[in-house]
Chain A
């Protein structure tokens, strides 16, 4: 039996950073030397290939594999920088109904034989694509922005993780980790943004990391590199690296990495709020 861990990165709401987080965490795990596969479940609206800079090398996709039109090995795209990191892209032309439960089950169980970590990038919403992405997961990373609609949707997703997954149906409890993204420490301090403790209180899920709002995330996606590979010193990159260490079981306190600022920068921060 394999020791692979299947992790679903999910949130309910769109645009909170699931794909960015999937790419960043998968790359950080690969940098640690693990065999890692990232799967894009967003059939019809794939983007993980673009964020990982693999869009021109996609030949076959998840739907082809599920329907038996290609083998998993044909469909896997190897990362251009890390040779132990692979992407299983979603199909761009089909819709989410092209995925079947049995098909996904067999893809995941085959991937478990080749990889240590399988990171499933869930589509937004609570429909078929999202429920299939979480269906065979061993653990879940719940991505939330410190913002009311995102937190509410996460609560809904937590309910699904506890009801519609294989782990839950077998009587187990899905281990969950909360990843807060686009965090602005200053606004939280002045009481104009939900603080990390508020979100943890409301959702009752332990925190795995806090990724600060950072310009480096957009820069990294512009050039098709996960932020953990493009700029290791950036606050977002450090936050993802920390979260990865916690995912690997290290017991380290959660910090909120900040931009390094000079003395004057700290006092007179001309920040557009």
Chain B
């Protein structure tokens, strides 16, 4: 360690780099990036359709795209509020 660095300000650029990478890669890993956009759009559409009939919490909707081999599946998970009943 350089003796001068004991008095100087510690650089922060590495932690900025790590942060940026973690956010970026989380998006890219969500299978290709184009899928991330698709999923986000689908999520909004589905939310709108369901919300017509049932009052749901937007945060209780989960979409997952899963790939295994040649098959891609789309999983939709919506947690309904306890009182939800189609009227």
Contact = CB atoms under 8 A, between A and B. Distances in A.
A215 interface: no
**Interface SS of chain A:** helix
B22 to A, nearest CB: 6
A202 B20 CA distance: 11
A93 B58 CA distance: 58
Interface residues of A, number: 24
A225 B71 CA distance: 48
A95 B25 CA distance: 31
B75 interface: no
B50 interface: no
Nearest to A202: B21
Contact of B20 (A148, A155, A189, A192): A148
Contacts of B2: 186, 190, 269, 271
Contacts of A195: 14
B18 A194 contact: yes
Contact of A186 (B1, B13, B17, B25): B1
B11 A202 contact: no
**Interface SS of chain B:** helix
Contacts of B29: 155, 159
B13 A191 contact: yes
Contacts of B5: 189-190
Nearest to B18: A198
B12 interface: yes
A152 B24 contact: yes
Interface string A175-213: 000000000001111111111001001100000000000
A192 B3 contact: no
A134 interface: no
Interface string B27-69: 0110000000000000000000000000000000000000000
18 contacts: A148-B21, A151-B21, A152-B21, A152-B24, A156-B28, A188-B14, A189-B5, A190-B11, A191-B10, A191-B11, A191-B15, A194-B14, A194-B17, A194-B18, A198-B14, A198-B18, A201-B18, A202-B22
4 A-B pairs with the lowest CB-CB distances in the bound complex, closest first: A192-B11, A191-B11, A198-B18, A191-B14
Interface of A: 147-148, 151-152, 155-156, 159, 186-195, 198, 201-202, 267-269, 271
